[in-house]
Amino acid sequence: MFEKSRDYLAKPELYIPSTDPFWDDEHISKGMLEAHLNPHWDAATRKSDFLDMSVSWIASIAPPKQFHQLLDLGCGPGLYAERFNSVGYSVIGIDFSSRSIEYAKEQTQHNKSNIEYHYQNYLTIDHVEKFDVITLIYCDYAALSITDRLILLEKIHRALRPNGKFIFDVFTPKMRKKESRTWCYEEKGGFFCKEPYICLESIYQYDDYDETELRQSIVLNETEVHCYNIWDHFFTKEKLLSEAQPIGFGAYDFYGDVSGKKYSDAEETICCVFTK
Ligand SMILES: C[S@@+](CC[C@H](N)C(=O)[O-])C[C@H]1O[C@@H](n2cnc3c(N)ncnc32)[C@H](O)[C@@H]1O
């Protein structure tokens, strides 16, 4: 075990993948779904009051009558998708957590809301001028490398109809963490594993072009070592424009959050509305 763990203790090379899936792990996805469904947590989905405000703001800038077809990327268990549908959008949701997608499908049957859900990596979407609105909410764009961000922006631009809107949020540099190393012992099991485990958590900063941040969780149980690497990036308006302008959107609007708060460079998030 000591041998196996030691390999993970040095600062990892940029974009070394996790040893196991994170969002789609059988155990982790259970805790994640609980976090999504807790209306008072900001952990995996924002609090439910915020979701309500967010959906009514989006419906005000892209009214469902004119902007009918909506694609929600990284839809999780469908908390936004259900709300989008209830204000009049025709909704497709995509996520690569099978537990979240199963839950979302059950909800749409139960609510007779007629939302289409796909268990799919959103980096593989391939649509041409099919959607009026595409959303990617809760700073997922920031988890992608610059290569993947540009691939995704191209695909989104292609998938939007003329005048369609891509609406997403990102963290600003205010949210960058300090490098650190901490540990905890989960005697009864916990978020990462149902058996007892030790978790060694590190935050690393990289001085690459993208000033990448890594949150690494090394999970040690009786017999195994798992390593989860969650990459993050932080954005200014200028950086966002430098990525989106070459793709060829026609207009770029910025807000302080995804409920339409006024943009200020003192905020923790930026919400972007890019119009094709
Ligand atoms: C922070 S949660 C946000 C969920 C939802 N947008 C919300 O605000 O409630 C991120 C979601 O994106 C999904 N996800 C992350 N990367 C993905 C990818 N490449 N393809 C599909 N889904 C992805 C995760 O499974 C997770 O459900």
The minimum-distance atom of ligand 1 relative to the CA of 121 is: 20
pTM of the model as a whole: 0.96
Q: How far apart are CA 218 and CA 203, in angstroms?
A: 12
Contact 190, 208 (CB under 8 A): no
Determine if ligand 1 sits within 6 Å of the CB of residue 186. no
Q: Which amino acid is at 155?
A: K
Residue 91 has pLDDT above 90, yes or no: yes
Determine if ligand 1 sits within 6 Å of the CB of residue 23. yes
Distance from the alpha carbon of residue 109 to the mean position of ligand 1, in angstroms:
21
Determine if ligand 1 sits within 6 Å of the CB of residue 135. no
Contact 139, 46 (CB under 8 A): no
pLDDT (tens digit, 9 = 90+) per residue, 205-223?
999 999 999 999 999 999 9
Write down the pLDDT at residue 4.
Answer: 77
